[in-house]
Structure 1
Amino acid sequence: MGQEKLDYRKTFVLGLGFFSVSIVWPVYNSFVPIMLENYIKSTTLIGAVMTIDNLFAVIFQPIFGALSDKTNTRFGRRMPYLLIGVPLAAIFCSLIPSANSLPMLMTFVILMNFAMSIFRAPTVALMPDVTPSHLRSKANGVINFMGGLAAVIAYGLGGFLYKKGTAYPFYMSSIIMTMALILLYIFIKEPEIVEEKAKVKNKEKDIDKSKSLLFILFAIFFWFTGFNAVETFFSLYGQYELGIDPGKASMILTSFSLSFLIFAIPAGFVGTKLGRKKTILLGIVGALTVFTLLIFVKNISAMIVLLIIGGMFWAFININSYPMVVEMAPKGGVGTYTGYYYFFSSCAAIVSPILFGWIRDMAHSYKPLFIYSCIAFGAALFCMLFVKHGDFTNKNYTEEDLKFMKENI
């Protein structure tokens, strides 16, 4: 078992699910505000509309994740949600640029966001379903790499296509989503025997494991709180504190994202070798150190170097946290626990920009940005110290389960 290797070909195919999700949001976030501006003059209202995706993630992703655990069809547990959600999302995504009124635009935006919520948690839950526990950090590294690659394509190719026609980036996203679904349906076989044995062992309730779950979920909330503030306000921080234009500030922050993309797969190897908890703790301490230095560093070149290092540590955290959460799931509960993960990360995406916005208004300055981020990562570090479960153990799998996983991933 310890010598078993990840099948990268199938894992890349599996990553197409996350790729299809990640191709949509950069296009949506880049161009929908421009369309909304034709009807809404209030930036606050436009910002409120643009939080619908996170609001739906908090409400619907846990629901559909849990429902997929209980689903049993000839297409599998997760696949029915993809077969319904992806085509609907693709249709409504492609219709957004055709809207010629605010009610029509809002209808397509809301329906697309709802359709995306149907399949996101079940799609992510596919990975732990068909991947042995000790390979999940590596697999998650590949899948997040695919997501990062999708974002790069969406920003690069989407911007080029938008100049040719405002609808083209949306058509591109819809086509790629549909093609990814077809490939997933053809090449990924969902397990059946693992689920059927779940009901017997699901009844064991481990209080200590529940405490670990709660602490890691709050850790996830806090580190996304710190990250989302920097992601949201760094352009304004650059403009007002560094004296550079927002476009250049955005390019500086891109070094963080590119670093995450580069280190996504290596972070999975580190988590497998060192252990998930130790790798996450290393990542938090590293990120905390980087953001502490960024409180004082104003030199652009030095900031880029620090952000590249920070992207590496962010990969250590992000790649290994989801596998830790689903490792604690009872058999048959992976979709539910995937929903928990997205509930807490999405809550942070909603709360953090508002909270730091209030702090900025009180301070009349963007100087507290990295202090705020450090406090959030410090809280995440504190929570992680109490997490006692989530590293790989094969005791929950029968030989038959392991044989099936070995044959299918």
Structure 2
Amino acid sequence: MRKTWLLGFGFFSISITWALYNAFVPFFLEKFLTSTALIGFMMTIDNYFALFLQPWIGSRSDRTRSRFGKRMPYLLLGMPLAAVFGALIPWHTGLLTLVLFMVLMNLSMSLYRSPTVALMPDITPEGKRTQANGVINFMGGIGSIIAFGGGAFLYERHISLPFLTSSVLTLICLAILLYAIRERRDAVSFAPAERQSSVSFRGEWNRPTVFLLCAIFFWFLSYQGVEAFFTLYGKNHLQLTEGQASFSLAFFSLAFVLGAIPSGLLGKRFGKKRIIAIGVAGLIACFAAISFIDSLLPLRVLLIVGGLFWAMININSYPFVVSLGKEESIGTRTGIYYLFSSLAAIASPPLMGGLIDLFGYSALFYVATGGMVVALLFLLGVRDSGMTRGVAAPDANRSA
């Protein structure tokens, strides 16, 4: 598990970058745009790249041959570029340069997100992948806590400091990964797929996978909308300061961190589908309750509870998707996972923003609750027993 903890630095860098991006970029956009729906649309730029690039890059990394391995070349290219363009975002001189830096940063991150995620099952035996996903998401959660807590502190001193700090940490994390991970040495079975192999997008669409991906779409529809607009919700609906609103998200991230490793263990013991279902049902209750909250303390209490339930969902969902396919399709399935989560992230902010424009910020958590309900219905349609293309579906004794 030592390698898993070290791999977690890759997730740490991704999480801290996205947390700062989602917390503070809306404030930059708000200076130039009056429509909340348009702000929401601009916040989905990364997901358009994810929609087209990440499935292709994930599949391509399955077939990559280099002295650095299958996945690492993409990290070597994408992480330094993302660090540079991320640091430039607060130095925009107008809407045009702001959007330019946002696009370039998001394009850079799309180069290495899928390969970074695919490294986990590459170096982890199948029976330990749910636990390993808990470990690396624990590291990612630490990154989010630092971003929302420390980022708020730094932002109030100068708007560039959170982004500069994130960029430096990204480069440090890349150095750690290069030193610690050797794919040819550490992979469970290092063998790039043949270019004309049977690994293809068409071959991955079995019925359990489709239902699970639909569930993933709807719970990310809810989560991404809340994440994109929470700081504006806190500022404009609850009358919090910008620092209070962004710092409140640290409570959600703290709970996610505390729940990450236990959620992986629960998924291994009781089955991923069951633990995910409990998490979705719990978030339905939390989001519904937040709709009626108008003060800071109960809001943060509910965010803590919601973070625990989100850990149950997020820790088990990616291993669930991977377990429904073949070992040689890990990169491809990682790309498909990001395809659906990115579709949700593309649809969610403009939808949420449009509804906020029509009905006010109170609509945010009503819609988020509804999305979680639909996700639960799709999840209940996933059969996690029997055989899937000759591969046993995951259960309590087969964690991926």
TM-score between the two structures when normalised by the length of structure 2 = 0.83
- Please show how residues 140-289 of structure 1 align to structure 2 within 5 Å: 140-162=133-155, 166-191=159-184, 194=189, 196=191, 202=198, 210-234=206-230, 244-245=239-240, 247=242, 248=244, 251-289=247-285
Query: Hey, what does 1:359 align to over in structure 2?
Result: 355
| CA shift in 2, pair 1:279/1:391, >3 Å | farther
Give the number of the structure whose alpha-carbon radius of gyration is greater.
1
Question: In the alignment, is the contact (CA less than 8 A) between 1:287 and 1:314 conserved in 2?
Answer: yes
Quote the Cα distance in structure 2 between the aligned partners of 1:175 and 1:301.
34
| CA shift in 2, pair 1:223/1:390, >3 Å | farther
TM-score between the two structures when normalised by the length of structure 1 = 0.81
The structure 1 residue matched to 2:379, chosen from 353, 378, 384, is 384
1:89 aligns with 2:90: no
- Please show how residues 298-377 of structure 1 align to structure 2 within 5 Å: 301-362=297-358, 364-377=359-372
Query: Hey, what does 2:11 align to over in structure 1?
Result: 18
CA apart distance, 1:105: 4.6
1:132 aligns with 2:125: yes
Instruction: Name the stretch that deviates more: 201-210 or 100-109.
Output: 201-210
1:53 aligns with 2:46: yes
Aligned-residue CA RMSD (Å): 3.5
Instruction: Name the stretch that deviates more: 57-66 or 92-101.
Output: 92-101
CA apart distance, 1:152: 2.2
Question: In the alignment, is the contact (CA less than 8 A) between 1:137 and 1:271 conserved in 2?
Answer: yes
Quote the Cα distance in structure 1 between the aligned partners of 2:114 and 2:309.
25
Q: Between the two proteins, what is the percent identity of the paired residues? A: 46
Question: In the alignment, is the contact (CA less than 8 A) between 1:324 and 1:390 conserved in 2?
Answer: no
| CA shift in 2, pair 1:365/1:109, >3 Å | closer
Look up the equivalent residue of 2:337 and give its one-letter code. Answer: Y
Unaligned runs of 5+ in 2: 393-400
The DSSP-based 3-state class of the residue aligned with 2:70 is coil
CA apart distance, 1:315: 0.7
Look up the equivalent residue of 2:62 and give its one-letter code. Answer: D
The DSSP-based 3-state class of the residue aligned with 1:137 is helix
| CA shift in 2, pair 1:366/1:100, >3 Å | closer
| CA shift in 2, pair 1:396/1:77, >3 Å | farther
CA apart distance, 1:306: 3.4
Query: Hey, what does 1:76 align to over in structure 2?
Result: 69
Question: In the alignment, is the contact (CA less than 8 A) between 2:22 and 2:228 conserved in 1?
Answer: no
CA apart distance, 1:220: 0.6
Quote the Cα distance in structure 2 between the aligned partners of 1:334 and 1:77.
12
| CA shift in 2, pair 1:133/1:91, >3 Å | same
| CA shift in 2, pair 1:368/1:96, >3 Å | closer
Quote the Cα distance in structure 2 between the aligned partners of 1:306 and 1:103.
38
Quote the Cα distance in structure 2 between the aligned partners of 1:322 and 1:236.
29
Instruction: Name the stretch that deviates more: 64-73 or 370-379.
Output: 370-379
Unaligned runs of 5+ in 1: 1-6, 398-409
Look up the equivalent residue of 2:276 and give its one-letter code. Answer: I
Quote the Cα distance in structure 2 between the aligned partners of 1:330 and 1:308.
36
Aligned positions, number: 386
Question: In the alignment, is the contact (CA less than 8 A) between 1:219 and 1:379 conserved in 2?
Answer: yes
Question: In the alignment, is the contact (CA less than 8 A) between 1:27 and 1:170 conserved in 2?
Answer: yes
The DSSP-based 3-state class of the residue aligned with 2:75 is helix
Instruction: Name the stretch that deviates more: 249-258 or 333-342.
Output: 249-258
The DSSP-based 3-state class of the residue aligned with 1:71 is coil
Look up the equivalent residue of 2:49 and give its one-letter code. Answer: F
CA apart distance, 1:172: 2.2
